[in-house]
Amino acid sequence: MSSKKSNGVVPGEEAMPINEDDTEYKKLYELPTMRYSNIVILIVTVDTIVSIALWVTGGNTKYFVDNITDFHLTESVFDLALVAASKMIFYVTVLAFLETFSFRQIDKPYDFALIQKIKVLHVTLIVFSLLVFGFTVTKGGFVLYKFINDSSYTKMHAEYNALVISAVCFSLIEFIASVFSFGAMRTLKVIRITRRFNDQGVEIDKEGKTILKKVSLQRLFLLAKPEWGFIAGGTIALVGSSGSQMAAPLFFGKVVDAAQTDMEQENCVTDWPLTHSFTECSNQQDCGTDWPLFYQIGNAATLSPLLHYNPLQGECLGWVNISMLVRYIFQLVGSLGFMFYLNAALTGVLLAVVPFVSISAVRYGKFVQKMQKKFQDKLGDAGTVAEETLSSVRTVRSFSGEAKTVNNYGKEINESGFQGLIGLLAQGAIALCLWYGGKLVYDEAHGKHTGLTPGVLTSFLLYTLQVAMAFALMSSLYGDFMSALGASTRIFGLLERTPGIQNENGMVPAQLTGRVQFKNVCFTYPSRPESEVLKSICFTVEPGEMVALVGPSGGGKSTIVNMIERFYDPSEGTIYLDDYDLKELDPQWFRKKISMVSQEPTLFACSIKENIAFGVNADISEVEAAAKQANAHEFIQTFEKGYDTLVGERGVRLSGGQKQRIAIARALIMNPKLLLLDEATSALDAESEHLVQEAIDRAMKSRTVIVIAHRLSTVRNASKVIVIDKGSIAENGTHDELIAKGGVYKKLVLRQLTAGNRSEPINDTNEDSS
């Protein structure tokens, strides 16, 4: 790993030396996807696709061939298609270099050779786009001139007209974009994202947390491998249903045309033209009757993976969303295809104005949003202003302030007017399409062959609507989709994490006596590496002994208990169970020999019986025996459903004392060699406390017990008391020995005795024992 990486880079720090290697550079920085060069490349790509589609779809073969062999500026558009294709290659190449050099220059502000290269690229970009714009405008001008003045001019038909219009629009946008390239490249410094790495070379965020690798779509789809059969079937049906749905506007258009013809020819309004034509064209298309069927199959098959829905994996919503996304993509692409098929010229014009409409829509949307907020803010002030103005009308008059007041008002109006102009542009773009469509229909009706009948225009407008709807719905689904991807990143991150402590494999000794030994155990929680929680802990618990851990809160008692369960491994030292290093034993095996009862036990949302028998396969008589030992049997009997009573989420339907007794029964049924106990400090009523205590006392018999003790009675009975303070063993001995010693332990006990309450916890939370 390079030293640069391991040091990490803080955004906004001094420029760092970067070597010439671009791959190294890319490891250190990245750029957001939505940025100048990508947006320009997207626009140029759309431009190229539209241009080539219009060129290819326009005219018959001869015309198409003549266009190349017999090139003429005002009659051929082959040049425009060629320019569009070369433009794409040019922009992709130049922008890639420009961005790389400008990116590198941020950290090399005095590299004059680099600056020179960047300047040349900027100038080339602007000159090239200006030349293209000049060329398209000139060509457009000539064509328009011919169109207006030469009545015999027929060579350039509708698709090619559309191509000229689209070429002028796009080249204007691209020219404007190229002028902004200087500014855009300067923003790279602000928008670049600095990547940071830790000492292991793993990428981290500002707070030092590991950044999870992005989940690829491929990986997400692989998750659904078991459902592939259904998905394939669903997709086929989906394509069928979307396809037939997409054919609908085509039929509607035909109905419109057929209705007109029939009515004109037969002069009959009440005849059956609509029904007839609809059936006829349905039959002609050969899929009309299949359409609803396909649609239903599609829906059914799309839903079929739901039958295999696995609630744990939460696939259901994801699949419905994906199927909708696929449907909308089909709808979008298919409708555009149909639109080109119906009238490529009109589609071309429509696509050419899309950038204008989008930009206007975004600006208009922002404007509306801003105005709405302003409106709300101003509404509050309005009353005051109105009142002030009216009541102060004399003051305004006396200072001749009318002009100023009106001027202020006028400024607002001007701003609105400017924004309105943008809105007008959007409306204008749509009007242009309608005008052009109408003109083509008119031409068709008056002998010129444009191929656009009223029916075709109807279909076309319906398709436009479908495209718009698919686009709008897709963008909202895209958000869901991305958040699903984001969520799966987290899930995959968790799945990828290999646990430091494997849950299986290891030694399985024939028997266990229950002896525990800590030898120089040191421990630091990985999430808090700066503070050592346990410092060289040494103690031994002999089989059958009851050892009490006491001490101030945060001293490390629970940590010790958790380490016996091997939830964590010591950073230094060894923990022995009998004579075996805990690390060598099979965790699944030794955890069955250890039972733990915590202060606030976790119960599962199932029946009492299932909770008690959680760790073993036990029959009801064994469950009852354990419950009796734990003083739980009686209260369970009082429930209507007895052992089948459901305890609710985390046992919410039981009282604190009842939960503890069930947890004790759950520990006892395992017949553990070693019992780990965290005595409850929570206040129980006297009766409950007595029952719990009795159960605990019974549970402690004939096994090794390590108890985090909070009660004097417990420590008195303990064979040994270990006082843990600030991660170390402060004192160690029997109750009497420690009292005699007069140290930390005595202080803890005295506090309790002076409080005059035997049941008060002896581990004071705020105690500073030092």
Ligand X SMILES: Nc1ncnc2c1ncn2[C@@H]1O[C@H](COP(=O)(O)OP(=O)(O)OP(=O)(O)O)[C@@H](O)[C@H]1O
Q: Which residues face 516 on adjacent strands?
A: 541, 577
Cβ proximity of 725 and 560 under 8 Å: no
- Three-state SS for 358-425 is HHHHHHHHHHHHHHHHHHHHHHHHHHHHHHHHHHCHHHHHHCCCHHHHHHHHHHHHHHHHHHHHHHHH
**Site size toward ligand X, by CB under 6 A:** 12
Residues from 248 through 267 that contact ligand X (CB under 6 A): none
Q: How far apart are CA 667 and CA 426, in angstroms?
A: 73
* Nearest distance from C-beta of residue 528 to ligand X, angstroms: 4
Q: Which residue number, 483 or 553, has a Cβ lying nearer to ligand X?
A: 553
The smaller minimum CB distance to ligand X, of residues 527 and 770, is found at 527
CB of residue 677 vs ligand X: minimum separation in angstroms? 13
How many Å apart are CA 109 and CA 97, to the nearest integer? Answer: 17
User: Of the two residues 171 and 558, which places its CB atom closer to ligand X in the complex?
Assistant: 558
Judged by beta carbon, residue 557 or residue 633, the one nearer ligand X is 557
Burial of 634 (0-12, 13-18, 19+ CB in 10 A): exposed
Nearest to 332 by CA among 241, 458, 464: 464
Q: What mask of x and - would describe binding to ligand X in positions 551 to 590, judged by CB under 6 A?
A: --xxxxxxx-------------------------------
Min. distance of Cβ 589 from ligand X in angstroms?
25
Closest to ligand X by CB, 180 or 525: 525
CB of 309 to ligand X, least distance (A): 35
Minimum CB separation of residue 621 from ligand X in Å reads: 37
Closest approach of ligand X to the CB of residue 635, in Å: 28
| 281 vs 722 by CB, closer to ligand X | 722
Q: Is 711 in the site for ligand X (CB under 6 A)?
A: no
Beta carbon of residue 687, minimum distance to ligand X (angstroms, whole number): 26
Can you count the helices (H) and strands (E) in the chain?
Answer: 27, 14
CB nearer ligand X, residue 405 or residue 520? 520
Burial 386-397 (b: 16+ CB within 10 A, else e): eeeeeeeeeeee
CB of 679 to ligand X, least distance (A): 10
Collect all residues with Cβ–Cβ distance below 8 Å to 368 and sequence separation of at least 6.
Answer: none
Kindly identify the residues of this chain, within the stretch 727-766, that bind ligand X according to CB under 6 A: 763
User: Could you give the CA distance from residue 4 to residue 415 in angstroms, rounded to a whole number?
Assistant: 50
Site for ligand X in 28-87 (CB under 6 A): none
CA–CA distance, 632 with 659 (Å, rounded to integer): 9
What minimum distance in Å lies between the beta carbon of 501 and ligand X? 14
Nearest to 752 by CA among 765, 739, 763: 763
Output 453 or 558, the one with its CB closest to ligand X: 558
Nearer to ligand X, 228 or 525 (CB): 525
In DSSP terms, 732 is beta-bridged to 722
**629: which 2 tokens?**
């030992």
Residues 496-535 touching ligand X, rule: CB under 6 A, are 525, 527-528, 533
List strand residue ranges (DSSP E) for 578-735, in order.
Answer: 580-581, 594-597, 674-678, 704-708, 720-725, 728-733
Cβ nearer to ligand X, comparing 118 with 550: 550
* Least distance in angstroms from the C-beta of 558 to ligand X: 3
Long-range interactions of 205-213: CB distance < 8 A, separation 24+: 206/11, 210/493, 212/489, 212/490, 212/492, 212/493, 213/489, 213/492, 213/493, 213/496
Give whichever of 318 and 727 is closer to ligand X, judged by the CB atom. 727
Which residues are paired to 728 by β-bridges?
725
Minimum separation from the CB atom of position 208 to ligand X (A): 15
Residue 726 Cβ vs ligand X, minimum distance, rounded to whole Å: 9
Contacts with 212 (C-beta within 8 Å, 6 or more apart), sequence order: 489, 490, 492, 493
511/527 with CB nearer ligand X:
527
By the 8 A CB rule, do 454 and 260 touch?
Answer: yes
Q: Which stretch binds ligand X (CB under 6 A): 111-119, 162-170, 453-461, 549-557?
A: 549-557
- Rule CB under 6 A: which residues touch ligand X? 525, 527-528, 533, 553-559, 763
